[in-house]
Structure 1
Amino acid sequence: MAGKRGSGKKMPKLGTGKRFAAVETSARKSGARNPKAVAAAAGRKKFGGAKMAAMAKAGRKRAARKGR
């Protein structure tokens, strides 16, 4: 993961997608069938459904602006 509490590493800013990517990479290395689903489930557990939905919406908007 992108740094656990107390490890001394600074976490990326919330909403940038870097935390999600770190969890996804970790899940992939652990052999998850669908690492994006694992990252989304962890995010919903930590931040709640409404906050995750808002962050996903912002991410889709940011990606659309970049033309992805």
Structure 2
Amino acid sequence: KPATGMYQRAASELGLDLADSYYVGDKVLDVTPSLVLGGVGVLVRTAYDVDESAQMPADTAVVDDLMEAARFISSRD
């Protein structure tokens, strides 16, 4: 991460559309592939790490936990 090769390979093997995918993680590097591949980045804040949300592009969702990430994704589909 954030190299996009593993995402492209998985998408090819599984028939996924990366531009219609979500990139969820607790680090900026986890969600930055969305900037290159399309799709939506979802940054999950964590108690053990520095809040990285200020470093994210405006179109990246920032949520407090995985449940909120799931609700966000469900509300968009």
Q: Is the shorter-chain TM-score for this pair beyond 0.5, marking a shared fold?
A: no
Q: Normalized per residue, which structure has more helix?
A: 1
Normalising by the residue count of structure 1, what TM-score does the alignment of the two structures yield? 0.28
